[in-house]
Chains A and B, each alone.
Chain A
């Protein structure tokens, strides 16, 4: 039996206990959550390549998030990075991000942010570094896991397509959701918030209402986004929305008078308080917990 098969064999034997093959080669038993629970982790906005007063070491803060996730006694089914992995779509930034994110114990899924697709080469570098092999040619994808239907949308792109899903993707989404029964738990990812947080700052998806309309018939739809580097929660009917903290730097609160979007220098000693990651448990409906890196 190969090592991977062996781990797969032992990982789910025994109710309430997760057996893990440690790096030292010994099988360790750790407390397991509810046997039917499904969990994943969201991280976002790492901006590898940023240098400035808002965070003088974006590598270190991403590494801290990764270490905290790796230390979780029960590993999540996957970790999703909801975009802006890099700051300027440079090859060195993708390489550095990959070297850090490849140390995650759980499988990694990513979607791009607008900072990952800058210029003619950005989208190619992103695709070569992170794109899912099972995604459509345009990058959006869906999959079923743990009884949940997951959808990852792309609302960044070339030209003025930031904050736009586009008719092609919306048609795909409609077709993708059509066979799903209304009681299917649904989790939708995208970089830019689907709902209008602050359109003047580019914190909304212009045709997001069309996607949101398609989610309304589901009894447990959850939409998780990044982009704005802070937690904003929102609901429309049965749909719940939440944006995530960054691992790189904070931004001003929407509609702050005199402020603008962009890196915000935190008060001295508070950077880790405003950065973080999100754990999500799905049992019928997604429930999330946000953790600051100061707690990590």
Chain B
């Protein structure tokens, strides 16, 4: 019983320490950050970038393969990502803002 409790506690601690990778289809732009900074989507899945900040932003692939162009406060950009792989992106007017998009082939 004691070992079972310890095992459960260890499992809880493990879950708390290492949350599963974030997945989702919405990226909020807030306080000069992409939130979440990293997302994983299935190929073909649409991702919505919403500018919730008080400044203009873009979501622009580092390799230039896609670009939301300028998004004012409250504006959003929806894009379906079809090519699998890991793509780093940034905001062209705030180059210190970075995000990562992982596109996986649907099984």
Contacts and interface: CB of A to CB of B under 8 A. Distances in A.
Interface stretch (B6-14, B39-47, B55-63, B78-86): B55-63
B94 A202 contact: yes
Interface stretch (A12-20, A137-145, A156-164, A179-187): A156-164
Given A115-B56, A262-B53, A263-B55, A162 B93 contact: yes
B70 A89 contact: yes
Contacts of A262: 32, 53-55
Nearest to A87: B56
Contact of A200 (B54, B56, B90, B96): B96
Contacts of A158: 64, 92
A260 interface: yes
Interface string A179-221: 0000000000000000000001110000000000000000000
A162 to B, nearest CB: 5
A202 B90 CA distance: 13
A8 interface: no
B69 A119 contact: yes
Contact of A118 (B54, B64, B93): B93
A85 to B, nearest CB: 14
Contacts of A129: none
B95 interface: yes
Interface of A is mostly: loop
A51 B55 CA distance: 10
Contacts of B58: 118-119
Contacts of A147: none
Given A119-B58, A200-B96, A159 B64 contact: yes
A88 B69 CA distance: 8
A118 B95 contact: no
A114 B93 contact: yes
Contacts of A160: 62, 90, 92, 95
A126 to B, nearest CB: 13
A266 interface: no
B56 A159 contact: no
B100 interface: no
A201 B56 CA distance: 14
B73 A260 contact: no
22 contacts: A50-B56, A51-B72, A52-B54, A90-B70, A114-B93, A118-B92, A119-B58, A122-B69, A158-B64, A159-B92, A160-B92, A160-B95, A162-B92, A201-B96, A202-B96, A261-B32, A261-B55, A261-B94, A262-B53, A262-B54, A263-B54, A263-B55
Given A160-B90, A262-B55, 15 more contacts: A52-B73, A90-B70, A115-B70, A158-B92, A159-B64, A160-B92, A162-B92, A162-B93, A200-B96, A202-B94, A202-B96, A261-B32, A261-B55, A262-B32, A262-B53
Closest 4 CB pairs of A and B: A88-B70, A119-B69, A262-B55, A118-B70
